[in-house]
Amino acid sequence: MTATILDGNALAKKLRADFKTRAEALLASHGTRPGLAVILVGEDAASQVYVRNKVNACAQAGFHSEKILYAPDVEPQRVFSRIAELNADPKIHGILVQLPLPKHFDSDAVLKAICPGKDVDGFHAENVGALMQGHPRFIPCTPYGVMKFLAEAGIDLKGKEAVILGRSNIVGKPMAMLLMQASATVTICHSQTRDLAFHTRRADILVAALGKPRFVTAGMVKPGAVVIDVGINRLPDGKLCGDVDFAAVSEVASAITPVPGGVGPMTITMLLANTLEAAEREAR
Ligand SMILES: Nc1nc(=O)c2c([nH]1)NC[C@@H]1CN(c3ccc(C(=O)N[C@@H](CCC(=O)O)C(=O)O)cc3)C=[N+]21
């Protein structure tokens, strides 16, 4: 079997064209342009690339955006007071603080400082709670992008075995909630899971979000499974690769996302979706 490749760039392009139309309509009807502020602390090269991609995506969709950069040793108080200004700024509908933050920051405290109505990452404790209670206000962008992929591919989740590798707050945990709400039977595996392959081989839907290059091999995948690769790993030669051994697993799976060009572009797309949604809510 050779798997269908789920093309994140193509789906992202289609959705972003729709967002651009909606943004133009909002501007015409209410004079509001969706606005995103992205805060980056430190000089990590990969983070700088992601932040630039987010700002460029905003420009292409006709959104306003602001990039706010701080040195790695910045006094946290300066970041908190900037967040307070952005919370009150009518041009800004979404605020994103790029993670991870330097060690002298309390990340939970920073995320909680963002007004929940502008928390387009969906990381504020209040929004995490709303997601768990089944009435999400902002769905975290990466799991949201995965759900869009599955919907676009016409994959029915009801009663399916979904296995997630990784239990992070930004991917694994919210991914589990969304798949459960879509009536899949969900298993979360992590670094202490015994006999990982036992679990992964049962999966109809396998989501890899553990951050280990090419960790998922063909022998760990049930023939015909749908494999979603959330990993973004940079190899010593500078190339990107996912958590899945793409070449081998695509011979076993029925559908698979590539890296690059899979979940990554969809993460940024759903950030635009949440920012647009925030702006539309305010106009209502
Ligand atoms: N508060 C916060 N929100 C985030 O959403 C967030 C974050 N912090 N910290 C870091 C991770 C990582 N992340 C990515 C987004 C897009 C690509 C992406 O577009 N990747 C391209 C390749 C880009 C490249 O060439 O490096 C692709 O997969 O095709 C990757 C990674 C968002 N994150």
The finding on whether 253 has its CB within 6 A of some atom of ligand 1 is no
pLDDT of the chain along its 284 residues, tens only?
699 999 999 999 999 999 999 999 999 999 999 999 999 999 998 899 999 999 999 999 999 999 999 999 999 999 999 999 999 999 999 999 999 999 999 999 999 999 999 999 999 999 999 999 999 999 999 999 999 999 999 999 999 999 999 999 999 999 999 999 999 999 999 999 999 999 999 999 999 999 999 999 999 999 999 999 999 999 999 999 999 999 999 999 999 999 999 999 999 999 999 999 999 999 98
What is the SS3 assignment for 137? coil
Residue 16 Cα to ligand 1 midpoint, Å, equals 17
Of 280, 18, 277, 265, the closest CA to residue 127 belongs to 277
Tell me, using a 6 A CB cutoff, whether residue 250 lines ligand 1: no
| Tally of helices (H runs) and strands (E runs) in the chain | 10, 11
Residue nearest to atom 1 of ligand 1 (CA): 98
62 contacts 20 by C-beta, under 8 angstroms: yes
Contact 65, 38 (CB under 8 A): yes
Helix (H) or strand (E) holding 67: strand 64-70
Alpha carbon of 151 to those of 144, 146, 154, 277: distances in Å? 11, 9, 5, 19
Spatial distance between the Cα atoms of 146 and 134, rounded to a whole number of angstroms: 18
C-alpha of residue 49 to centroid of ligand 1, in Å: 8
Write down all domains in the chain, each with its CATH number in brackets. Answer: 31-116 (3.40.50.10860), 141-264 (3.40.50.720)
E strands within 71-225?
94-97, 161-165, 185-189, 205-208
CA 81 to chain centre: 26
267, amino acid identity: T
pLDDT score, position 247: 97
The confidence score (pLDDT) of residue 284 equals 85
98 Cβ below 6 A of ligand 1: yes
Q: How far is the CA of 162 from the centre of ligand 1 (A)?
A: 23
How far is CA 8 from its chain centroid? 12
CB 201 within 8 A of CB 208: no
- Give the pairing type, strands 240-241 and 233-234: antiparallel
Query: Ligand 1 center to residue 264 CA distance, Å?
Result: 5
Q: Give yes or no for residue 50 CB within 6 A of ligand 1.
A: yes
Active site residues: 54, 98, 121
Residue that is written with structure tokens 């405290």 in the block: 109
267 C-beta closer than 6 A to ligand 1: yes
- Interface ipTM: 0.96
218 near 249, Cβ under 8 Å?
Answer: yes
Continuous segment of H or E residues that includes residue 40: strand 35-41
Burial class of residue 43 in the structure, from the number of CB atoms within 10 Å of its CB (0-12 exposed, 13-18 middle, 19+ buried): exposed
